[in-house]
Amino acid sequence: MEISQPLLELEWIPRPRLTALRRLEIETVEDLLTHYPRRYEDRHQFPEFPREESEVPICLCGEVVNTQLRRFGGWKKIFEATLQEPGGNALSQPLVCRWFNLHYVQKMIATGQRLVVFGKPRLRGKRLCMEHPEFEVIETDDEISIHFRRITPIYPATEGVSQRLLRSIIYRLLNELPDEPVETRAPARLVTGDRRHALQMIHFPENWQKLQAAREHLVLSEFFGLQMRIASRRAESVGRVGGVHCASGQLQKRFLDALPFELTSAQSKVISEIKADLAAKHPMNRLLQGDVGSGKTVVAIASILLAVEAGFQAALMAPTQILAEQHYAVLRQWLEPLGVRLSLRTAARQEDNSPLPLFANAEVKVPGSAGCQPAVSGSLPETSSGVDEPQYHRRRLPHFERPWAKYMITFTTRGRRQLSEKSRDIVLESLLRWKDRRYDLFAACVMPDHVHLLIEPMIEHTIDSGDLVFFSISKILHSIKSYTANRINKVEKSNDPVWETESFDRVIRSESDLHEKFLYITRNPWEAGVAAATEDYPWVWHSGVDVNAKDAASVTPDFAAGCREGQAGSLPSPSRNDEAQVIVGTHALLYESVTFSNLGLVVIDEQHKFGVAQRARLTAREPAPDVLVMTATPIPRTLTMTVYGDLDVSIIDEMPRNRGRIVTAVRDGSKLGEVLSFLRKELEAGRQAYVIYPLIEESDKLDVKAAAAEFDQWKERLHPLRCELLHGRIPPAEKQATMERFRKGEAKVLVSTTVIEVGVDVPNATLMLIENAERFGLAQLHQLRGRIGRGEHKSYCVLLTSDNSQETAAKLAILEKTINGFEIAEADWDLRGPGDLLGTAQSGLPALKIGSLKTDVELMRRARAAATLIFDKDPGLEWPENQRFRPLIVEEQGRTFSNVS
């Protein structure tokens, strides 16, 4: 027998059991041998029957002296088995085991049997009871050496395979497994002993020490395999073509000298780590962890200046519009005096030292054209002057248009007129021109004689009643048609109408509908035979991962990349001299390769909002830029070593000294009155406040309604102080203006959803009230709280909740106790487990069979060091003695590794 042998080939294993095992993905001998026990019972000798209750479960053995089936409440049944202590004395009390409504138990237990039970003894009246204990019947004595008089393994419960059976099969497998050692796939300096012995001892340990040693061996091997995979990826990225993006640091010095404060020593340390990376040839891949307010932005600027001085472009990407704007403001303040050229590129706004070439001519009036009106104009163009404007179809039934709805829209040229390539450029530019101003654009395709779009109209304005008015489809189409018609006729030297008046739209009804239309549009030129399969068609645009991740994920990467590259190629690129040296933007920057000509450094703020796939896209460029990702969400060290294992990690573990304290208090919802009067007092003393309410899905219309209602209440409560409302569905420009008024102190209170979660920096805002705090996760609450305590004033965070469950109390109490992000992350982990901590989208957590990311930190560290050492010396894993580790990397790459990057 071999360890890789399928269980199917072993005839002595009962066939029905094989099926049950297969459900657990146990197919081979190895699978079964690595089906590790969940716990152990020391069955050498059992303790005496207790007389009192116990909070700790205990393992007892006794003889069944009586069984009884009792009914209550009609059909409900209790089965009771009374156990007598073997050789017990007159004083010993029997133990009653009870199972409710589990009829199979009663078939398994009979008077006269010996039974091992495991559970918590409880007093019920005068009797000592165990409710629903785990149990095992001692059947015959011939197998006693497997199940008893030893430290006995208890396996994870498996339907269709009993503990006894599992134990017997594994026992026999271990006996029959040949003696030559099962290959140990970890270096000898990491693990002691061989794997064969460790497997033996993990299932049937001779004593507790040997069990411990066996576990250590197996955990180390498992972690080693994981770290080898991470190290191999790292080695691969280190081997990629990068460049030196570092200057001597004159600019950086001028910046640091001008700062009104001293760097913390943590900041200085991190800056020098980054400097070393920038100066090295291989691409930097560094994660900067630092709690909210620890001063990561300064570090980012200092790094950017090194690259800029060396003659490279640097990009700073933020997850939201607001943050990008804020970074832009901060960077301008520091960099413009140094003569650094800066530009802001977000979906909604483009600001530059020079206009973006793409829209440079947008404001130039073409004679006879009304199409170049600013985007806000909704009136129909004059049709009298020269160009024969089509009459646009006005939809009379706006109630067909629903808030937050997505539409697929198609409109065609008049008489199927063919658009020249130049004209198609114009149409695509125009579609992008209004993207994120009037609609979210998911996909667009400009065919020679028609156009498809997939859009979601945005909010145009809010009317007094609080209702939202969306851009109507007719208005959107009107802008596009009129804007393009004139320009097309100009380049085509024609006077004929360009567009048909009619257009077709369809509401998208479901995710799959969306996906289907998305694919339809993005594949249209190829499907319709307008472009050959191998050919590019540059007039297809789609939003890539900007759409819901699940939609984008199902588009094949090649296909998506092809579309995007085509798109990039059709746009003119700026000339070198007046080109921005630092580009600030949202993550959408990723898709505008046109804006970079000489990218040396990319700084990505707030990693948790930035998908792994997006980062991969960046680092796949050649030559690869240096990449610094910054996160304010501390995660426990072991998780960093695995989830971000291929990144170098820098930590800012120190706060600037001038910070005011943050006091956090949990209050019951009924105490709102008291909280309000406190709030008023502070506001009157000149401070500002955030009021946060939970909004689970930014797209949820009910929540938006709720937000508006909430807001009215708050205006009333705090009258006459000025309150403003902020949520994710407010158009970016308006959001920005609101933020600005709050920053300037004109608005005193910001009623907001979690859009202010990350990075917002208003030092005079010292109050935060979080409503329904129980609905937020710990990490998120911590992030939110990080908005206050940024100035020298003492800050207050009040967590309001009406949920008085124990879990909520425990969760919120953690925030009262500490403001240290790492402590909170650890606590969060205890409460929720690592998957939740990271969010499913990018958890990338490995499936571990035995090791615990939480408790085996030290072992992980050792495994990591061992793996790193191997790759440091032998990056291609080519040495003969390292050949045996190759399977570790290949085997599971597809399964565990694809998410970890």
> In angstroms, rounded to a whole number, what is the distance separating the alpha carbons of residues 303 and 251?
10
Between 7 and 302, CB nearer to ligand ADP: 302
Q: Residue 292 binds what, of Mg ion, ligand ADP, none (CB under 5 to 8 Å, by partner type)?
A: ligand ADP
Pairing between β-strand 723-726 and β-strand 749-752 as defined by DSSP bridges:
parallel
Q: Is 789 one of the binding residues for ligand ADP (CB under 6 A)? A: no
- Give the torsion sign (CA, 631, 634, 637, 640): negative
Which positions from 238 through 277 interact with ligand ADP, judged by CB under 6 A? 261-264, 267
> In angstroms, rounded to a whole number, what is the distance separating the alpha carbons of residues 309 and 207?
64
The residue from 119, 121, 153, 290 that contacts ligand ADP (CB under 6 A) is 290
Instruction: Return the residue nearest ligand ADP (CB atom).
Output: 295
The residue from 222, 309, 429, 761 that contacts ligand ADP (CB under 6 A) is 761
Nearest partner of 357 among 587, 592, 617, judged by Cα: 592
Q: Residue 502 binds what, of Mg ion, ligand ADP, none (CB under 5 to 8 Å, by partner type)?
A: none
For every residue of 654-710, DSSP letters joined together read: ---TTPPPEEEEEEEGGGHHHHHHHHHHHHHTT-EEEEE---S-TT-HHHHHHHHHH
Tokens 């073509």: give the residue: 241
Between 295 and 371, CB nearer to ligand ADP: 295
CA dist list (Å): 802 to 315, 717, 770, 773, 779: 44, 19, 12, 9, 20
Taking the complex as a whole, how short is the minimal distance between the CB of residue 816 and ligand ADP, in angstroms? 22
Of 191-199, 238-246, 291-299, 362-370, the segment contacting ligand ADP by CB under 6 A is 291-299
Nearest partner of 462 among 693, 670, 734, 163, judged by Cα: 734
Helix axes 163-176 and 195-203, enclosed angle (nearest 10): 150
Taking the complex as a whole, how short is the minimal distance between the CB of residue 632 and ligand ADP, in angstroms? 5
> In angstroms, rounded to a whole number, what is the distance separating the alpha carbons of residues 498 and 55?
81
Q: Is 688 one of the binding residues for ligand ADP (CB under 6 A)? A: no
Taking the complex as a whole, how short is the minimal distance between the CB of residue 655 and ligand ADP, in angstroms? 9
User: Is the separation of the CB atoms in 283 and 627 below 8 Å?
Assistant: yes
Q: Residue 263 binds what, of ligand ADP, Mg ion, none (CB under 5 to 8 Å, by partner type)?
A: ligand ADP
Which positions from 623 through 642 interact with ligand ADP, judged by CB under 6 A? 632
Q: What angle do CA 800, 803, 809 make, to 5 degrees?
A: 80
User: Is the separation of the CB atoms in 88 and 97 below 8 Å?
Assistant: no
Q: Is 762 one of the binding residues for ligand ADP (CB under 6 A)? A: no
Taking the complex as a whole, how short is the minimal distance between the CB of residue 647 and Mg ion, in angstroms? 18
CA dist list (Å): 371 to 381, 438, 479, 482, 493: 7, 16, 7, 5, 16
Q: Residue 320 binds what, of Mg ion, ligand ADP, none (CB under 5 to 8 Å, by partner type)?
A: none
Taking the complex as a whole, how short is the minimal distance between the CB of residue 293 and ligand ADP, in angstroms? 5
Between 358 and 750, CB nearer to Mg ion: 750
Number of residues that bind Mg ion (CB under 5 A): 1
Q: Is 851 one of the binding residues for Mg ion (CB under 5 A)? A: no
Tokens 């069944």: give the residue: 64
Which positions from 294 through 333 interact with ligand ADP, judged by CB under 6 A? 294-298
Taking the complex as a whole, how short is the minimal distance between the CB of residue 31 and ligand ADP, in angstroms? 46
Which positions from 94 through 123 interact with ligand ADP, judged by CB under 6 A? none
Between 820 and 896, CB nearer to Mg ion: 820
Encoded amino acid at 543, one letter = S
User: Is the separation of the CB atoms in 156 and 122 below 8 Å?
Assistant: no
Phi, psi of 293 (to 5 degrees): 85, 5
Which positions from 668 through 727 interact with Mg ion, judged by CB under 5 A? none
Taking the complex as a whole, how short is the minimal distance between the CB of residue 318 and ligand ADP, in angstroms? 10
Neighbours of 1 (CB within 10 A): 13
The alpha carbons of the chain give a radius of gyration, in whole angstroms, of 33
Q: Is 759 one of the binding residues for Mg ion (CB under 5 A)? A: yes
Q: Residue 791 binds what, of Mg ion, ligand ADP, none (CB under 5 to 8 Å, by partner type)?
A: none
Nearest partner of 631 among 663, 612, 609, judged by Cα: 609
Encoded amino acid at 762, one letter = V
Taking the complex as a whole, how short is the minimal distance between the CB of residue 604 and ligand ADP, in angstroms? 13
Between 268 and 373, CB nearer to ligand ADP: 268
Q: Is 603 one of the binding residues for ligand ADP (CB under 6 A)? A: no
Taking the complex as a whole, how short is the minimal distance between the CB of residue 554 and ligand ADP, in angstroms? 35
The residue from 166, 177, 219, 292 that contacts ligand ADP (CB under 6 A) is 292
Nearest partner of 444 among 374, 378, 537, judged by Cα: 537
User: Is the separation of the CB atoms in 346 and 324 below 8 Å?
Assistant: yes
Between 243 and 660, CB nearer to ligand ADP: 660
Taking the complex as a whole, how short is the minimal distance between the CB of residue 318 and Mg ion, in angstroms? 8
Between 728 and 759, CB nearer to Mg ion: 759
Between 333 and 510, CB nearer to ligand ADP: 333
Between 140 and 658, CB nearer to ligand ADP: 658
Interaction site with ligand ADP (CB under 6 A): 261-264, 267, 290, 292-298, 632, 656, 658, 759, 761, 790
**Residues contributing to the site for Mg ion (CB under 5 A):** 759
